[in-house]
Amino acid sequence: MESVESETALLTTLYEMLGHLEASGANLERGNWTLAQAHAAHPTAEYWAVIEPALATRNLTAVRSPLDAYFTATRSQSVDSTTHLEAARQALRDAIAAIAGTGPESTRTQAAALAELAESIAAEFAEGVENDQIVNIEEYQDAWGFFQVLSAELPRVLDAAPTSGREAAAEARADLESLSRGPFDQFIDQLGTRVIDADSARERLAHLASAIRAAFGISKSTGPTPAVQVATIRQMLSDALNLYRSGLTDQAYERAANAYLQGFEALEPALLERGHRELVERLELDFKAVRDAIREGRSVEEIAQLIAKVNAGLDEVEEVLA
């Protein structure tokens, strides 16, 4: 039997994938094919390697086909893109429902996943918005898309909160409403646009996550120290290189993807809080370069050089977070 934390992490990832589709769809409605395609790529390019083993054990890997079909449609600017988008959305919703199941413990697990989603929104928002203005449109839209999923899923979950958690559930609803009327009131696709109540958004999202957990009596798990986290990331990258050297390309890609999604992403909020936006953005690109090189079948030497570049950036991370 897998742990609740494992189920929670899987659900959170699927919620984020659905959020990327929401952002993609909003761009699609505005005829912005470039950003529609960028967001459509994330579910498979960024997340798939991480969750495929867990989906395989549940016979849910068929969700990949509609995701690929939608990405292909956006890339070719197909007139059927909207149809493929809805099919991809539904495939993710079905997978979420299959994993979540039913019953009180299921609702509690969904609540834990939605609390983590709220924290993911805060992290993406912090990267996308600075001084009340959008400075990274894709990251802001990630936050917006994730929030659409949170808004759709959370009210039903809060309705099932136990009697002891009703006060906290009411606080969570108030936070959700405030955020809906504030920073996530409308979809934005222009850099430099001012965002309503941006200065309080991260605090409100943190309180929302805390209120969700309080409503269901969930304790937030404490993660490793930054030093331990960085050491884990370095080991994952080393593993990826060794796997690639052995000809195990898929496993190497999965390990490299985990180094970012399960490693560096957790450090981003602390780095942003300390004013190191450029370091975060640079390392995000460096991690992506490693993944892309593995996928494209570049030489072992080139991938080793790219990993060395990431490790140099991690040296800076350790200094900042020491």
pTM value?
Answer: 0.87
User: Environment class of residue 255 by beta-carbon count within 10 Å: exposed (0-12), middle (13-18) or buried (19+)?
Assistant: buried
Q: What is the pLDDT of residue 322?
A: 86
Percent of the chain exceeding pLDDT 70 equals 98
**More confident: 266 or 239:** 239
Cα–Cα distance, 163 to 217 (Å, whole number): 11
Q: Which CATH architecture has domain 226-321?
A: Up-down Bundle (1.20)
Cβ pair 83, 1 in contact under 8 A: no
Please give the mean pLDDT across all residues of the chain.
Answer: 93
In the chain, where are the structural domains located?
Answer: 4-216, 226-321
Q: What is the pLDDT of residues 147-197, one digit of tens each?
A: 999 999 999 999 999 999 999 999 999 999 999 999 999 999 999 999 988
Q: Tell me what pLDDT residue 6 has.
A: 82
Q: In the numeric block, which tokens belong to residue 51?
A: 């969750």
The pLDDT, as a whole number, for residue 141 is 97
- d(Cα 169, Cα 204) in Å, to the nearest integer? 14
Inter-residue contact 42 to 163 (CB < 8 Å): no
**pLDDT value for 1:** 29
Helical axes 277-296 vs 226-245, angle rounded to 10°: 20
